[in-house]
Structures are given as structure tokens and as C-alpha cells.
Structure 1
Amino acid sequence: MRPYILAETNWKDLKNREVELAVLPWGATEAHNYHLPYATDNYQIEAITAEAGRLAWEKKAKLVILPNIPFGVNTGQADIKLNINLNPSTQFQILSDIIQVLNRQGIFKLILLNGHGGNDFKPLLRELGLKYPDILLVTTNFYSILDKSQFFQEAGDHADEMETSLMLYLRSDLVMPLEEAGKGEEKKSKIKGIREGWVWSERKWSMVTADTGIGNPKKATEKKGKEFFNAVTAKISELFIDVDKVEINNRYG
């Protein structure tokens, strides 16, 4: 039993324990090129959250990690078979219900640790922060925390070298041989502002990529995945510890 993982602990252990911080991992269920499983985002975010939680727990952080939400926003991938979509309004309702529980039970800090690029929790947390002003709401995307170019040679953001390396480290039994993977080539928008990065429009996945990947995974290795995993979990554990210790009403200085 890992006592900081809610799914693994029990009422006898938890009922008299002080909990300062709840952590909610949130992934997705979607195609990841030809070589990675549909639950790639979930395997990654669950493992990263658990390891960061272990590191923080060993430094006396009073935290609990909630079960991962396995479905994310996949509105741009509606025609990709069995990519499961939760609309942002559905995510809002799920978050609202969870935060209501935490508020009722006196747990006033929540970190939402995101593992899927289609999820955007900032506007949801802005609105919920008005509804629950006593709760400190924090979110981050694990894949944006570090400079990925320090670990990986090929750029990308879906089933790419980074995700493939992580999965080779975490669940190599679910990774197909890399010679079976597509190249993850991305067609660029014909709209100049989108190409330059100062205009946004949702990507229509089946128009952008033939194999559902974006980024060449061919140079992925287990070693790269382990190095990135260790670095990113160490960084996230620092966040857990900081939020655990901070006084909500005295958090600026």
C-alpha cells in the first residue's frame, strides 16, 4: 500500500490522517500513432503523479493523490475511431463536484496535473475559483515543465519521441516495434498567423496527420524516457511540497 495514493489506501489508515493537498491527474483515451496504446496519456500521468507523490510524501508532505480521470477533450479528433471525448463543460462539472467534496471536507488545496494536450483547465479553474474562494486551485502540464530539447532530438507533441521514450520506460510491453510506427509528419496550416504561432485554431487531426502522430518517434529509447521521467517527477515533487507548505492567505510576498 502506498498511503498517498487514495485508490490504494483504506479507511482505517486515512480517517485520522491530516490531508493538506489533493492532487488530481487527468489524462485521455486516444490513438497514439500505430505503436503506442490508446491509454498512453493515462499510463504516463498516473506514473508521473505517483512518483512525484512518493518523493513529496517522503519529505513529509500531507498529500493524497486522487484517481486519474481517463478521458479528455478530443473535439478535434471526432472521426478517429474510439477517441473518447469529454467536452470542456463536462470537465467543468466533474471538477466542480470534486472540488465541492474537498471544500466540504476541509481540504483547501488542489493541484490538477494534466497529461493531455487537448485539456485546458485554466478557464475552468478561474470560474471555480470564484465559486470556491477558500480553495487554492493550481494546474500544470507535465510535458511543459522542462525543456524537452535537453532530452530528445525530434520535436513533436503527440506519440512523438518524448511520449514513446516514456512508454518504453514505463510500459515497454505495450509499445509496438518502432519500425511499425508512422513518421508522425504534420501538415502545416495554410493560414500564416497559425504557422507563426500567434493565431490559434483547433487542429482537425485527420487532416493534419496520416498516422495520428505528430513528431517522429523513431529515435525514442528507454534510457531517454527514464532520464526525462526522473527529472520531471523531481520537479513536480517540488511543486507538491511548495503547495503543501504554503499558507493560502499568505501566499504572496
Structure 2
Amino acid sequence: MRPYILAENNWKAIKDQEVELAVLPWGATEAHNYHLPYATDIIESEGVAEEAGKRAWEQGAKIMVLPCIPFGVNTGQTDIKLDINMHPSTQAAILNDVIEVLDRQGIKKLLVLNGHGGNNFKPIIRELGVKYPDMFISFCNWFQAVDKSEFFDHPDGDHADEMETSMVMYLRPELVRPLKQAGEGKAKEYRIKALREDWAWAERRWSEVTEDTGVGNPKKATAEKGKAYFEAVVQKVSTLFVEMAEADLNDLYE
């Protein structure tokens, strides 16, 4: 029983435990090329949350990792079989309910640990911050914590790519099919220049962009690369956990 993992604990252990920071991992359930499981984003987010939580706890941080939310925004993948979409409005309702509990019980800090690129919590947190002015509500994208180019030969992908494949090879190797069965993750780009340059945005229709559901070449993935990248991410995320847990909400700025 890890004292910083809510799902593993019981009322006897929890009822008197002080919690300064609640961490909510958030993933998605979606196809990841031919070789990775639908739970890839869940596996990664839980893995980062649990290991970073362990290291933060060992440094004295009073944190609690909540169960992972398994569904994310997949509005561009409506025709991909069993990609389970959760609308942003549903995410807002879930976050509201979680924050309502934390606020009522005096746990005033929440960090959403996001592992899915389709999730965008910024506008939701802006709105909920007005509703719960005493709460410190934040999120981070763990997959942006470190520079992928330091670890991978093909760092430009963003879905079932070399990074994600390497991560799952390290965390759950039994769920990864042989790379010879993986698609190459080739993705089409918009013809509209501004959309290619990322200063304008429109949602991609996934099945028109990629044949195998992947975006990024996974062929050079290894468990060793996954371990090195995971360790670097966890180190940064655990530092964030500690800093947030110890932060004085009346003295946040310097």
C-alpha cells in the first residue's frame, strides 16, 4: 500500500492524513497505431504520476494521486472504432465535481497531470478558478516536460510515435506488438499554410490524416530509450509536485 496512491488506501489510513496537493492523472482511450494498446495514454500518465508521487513523497511532500480519468477529447476521431470521446463540457463537469470535494474538505491545490494532446484544460481551469477562488487549480502536460530530441531519433511525432512506443515498451512491454507489425505513422499535413505553421488551428480529421492512426515513426523505439525519457520526465514532474505541495498560496509570486 503506497500512502500517496488513493486507490490503494483505506479509511483507516486516510482519515487523519494531511494532503496539501491532489494530483489527477488524465489520459484517453484511443487507437495507437497497430502495435500499442488503446490504454497507452492511461499507462503513461499513471506511470509518471505514481513514480513522481513516490519521489515527491520521499522528499516529504504531502500529496495524493487520484485515480486516472481514462477518457479524453477525441472529437476528431469519431469514425475510429472504440475511440471513446469525452467532450470538453464533460471534462469541465468532472473537474468541477472533483474540485467541489477538495474545496469542501480543505485540500486547496489540484494539479491535473495530462497525458493526451486532445485535452485542453486551460479554458476549463479559467472558468472554475472564478467559481472556486480559494482553490489553486493547475495542469501540466508531462509529455512537454523535457525535450524529446535529446532521447529519440524521430522526435517530431505526437501519437504512437517513437517516444510513446518506447515508453510503453518500458512500462508495459507485454502490451506492445512487434515493431515489424507497426505502421510507419505517416501523416498528411494541411494544404493551408497558416495551419501548417501552427499560428492558426483547426481540428484534424484523424482518418484522413493517417492510415494506421499513428503520427510519427515508431520503428526505432526501444525500452532503453523509454526508460531514459521516463526518468527525465519523472524527475521534473516530481520536482513540480514538491514545489506545489510546499507552496504558500498567500505568497505565490516573487
The TM-score normalised by the length of structure 2 is 0.99
Task: Quote the offset at 1:44 in angstroms.
Answer: 0.5
Q: Does structure 1 residue 95 correspond to structure 2 residue 77?
A: no
Distance 1:202 1:169 in 2: 31
Q: Deviations over 1:121-152 (max 9, x none)?
A: 00000000000010101111011111100011
Task: Structure 1 unaligned segments of length 5 or more: list them.
Answer: none
2-side partners of 1:32 and 1:165: how far apart?
13
Alpha-carbon distance between aligned partners in 1 of 2:232 and 2:249, rounded to the nearest angstrom: 28
Q: Distance in 2 between matches of 1:17 and 1:183?
A: 48
Give the C-alpha shift of residue 195 in structure 1: 1.0
1:229 equivalent in alignment to 2:230: yes
> In structure 2, what is the equivalent of residue 243 of structure 1?
244
Identity of aligned residues (%): 62
Residue-by-residue CA offset, 1:107-129 (whole Å, 9 max, x unaligned): 00000000000000000000000
Q: Could you say which residue in structure 1 is the equivalent of 2:157?
A: 156
1:186 and 2:187 aligned: yes
Matches within 5 A, 1:14-93: 14-93=14-93
* One-letter amino acid of the structure 2 residue matched with residue 249 of structure 1: N
Which portions of structure 1, spanning 4 or more consecutive aligned residues, are displaced by more than 4 angstroms? Answer: none
Please name the residue that 1:166 is paired with. Answer: 167
What secondary structure, in the 3-state scheme, does the structure 1 residue paired with 2:245 have? helix
Provide TM-score, normalisation by structure 1.
0.99
Alpha-carbon distance in 2 for matches of 1:197, 1:12: 51
Q: Secondary structure at the match of 2:212?
A: coil
Query: C-alpha displacement at 1:196, in angstroms?
Result: 1.4
CA distance in 2, matches of 1:89, 1:171: 32
Q: CA-to-partner distance for each residue in 1:17-73, whole Å, 9 max, x for gaps?
A: 111110000000000000000000000100110000000000010010000000000
Residue 117 of structure 1 aligns with which residue?
Answer: 117
- CA shift digits 1:178-229 (9 cap, x unpaired): 0000000010101011111211000100000000000000000000000001
Amino acid at match of 1:90: T
Give, in whole Å, the separation in 1 of the partners of 2:197 and 2:58.
44
CA–CA distance in 1 between the matches of 2:232 and 2:189?
31
Counterpart amino acid of residue 9 in structure 1 = N
Describe the SS at the equivalent of 2:158.
Answer: strand
The residue that corresponds to 1:219 in the other structure is: 220
**Distance in 1, Cα, partners of 2:145 & 2:35:** 25
Structure 2: how far apart are the matches of 1:197 and 1:24? 29
What is aligned with 1:197? Answer: 198
Q: Helix, strand or coil for the counterpart of 1:153? A: coil
Q: What is the DSSP-based 3-state SS (H/G/I as helix, E as strand, rest coil) of the residue aligned with 1:19?
A: coil
Question: What number of residue pairs does the alignment pair up?
Answer: 253
Letter in structure 1 aligned against 2:67: P
Cα distance in structure 1, aligned partners of 2:196 and 2:18: 49
Q: What secondary structure, in the 3-state scheme, does the structure 2 residue paired with 1:124 have?
A: helix
Gaps of 5+ in 2: none
Taking the aligned partners of 1:152 and 1:192, their CA distance within structure 2 comes to 27
